[in-house]
Chain A
Amino acid sequence: MDAAVVGTPIISARDLRVRYGEREILHGLRFDILHGETVVILGGSGSGKSTLLRTMVGLEKSHSGELRVKGVDMGKASERTKAELRLKMGLSFQGGALLGSLSVGENIALPLLEHSGLAPSTVEVMVRIKLEQVGLSGFEDFSPSALSGGMKKRAAFARALAMDPEILFFDEPSAGLDPIMAAGIDNLILNLKKAYTVTMVIVTHELASAFLVADRIMVVDKGDIIADGPPDLLRQSDHPRVRQFLDRVPDSESGDDEVDHLRMYTEGVR
Chain B
Amino acid sequence: MSKGEIAKHIEAQEKETLASSGMDASEETRSASFLQKDNRVFFSRSLSSDVEILDIREALEKIPAAKENYGRAFKALNREYPQDTEGGYFIRIKKDAVVQMPIQACLFLKSQGFKQKVHNVVIVEEGAKVYLITGCSASTAAKEGFHLGISEFFIHKGAYLNFTMIHSWQEEVSVKPMSIALLDEGAVYVSNYICMRPVKEIIMYPTAVLSGERSRASFNSLVLSHPNCLHDIGSRAILRAKNTQAEMTARAVSMGGNVISRGHIKAESPLVKGHLECRGLMLSEKGHIYAIPEMETDFRDVDLSHEAAIGKISKDEIEYLCARGFSQNEAQSIIVRGFMDVNILGLPEMLRKEISQIEEQTLKGSF
Q: Do A and B bind each other?
A: no
- Interface residues in chain B, defined as those with a beta carbon under 8 Å from any beta carbon in chain A: none
- Interface residues in chain A, defined as those with a beta carbon under 8 Å from any beta carbon in chain B: none
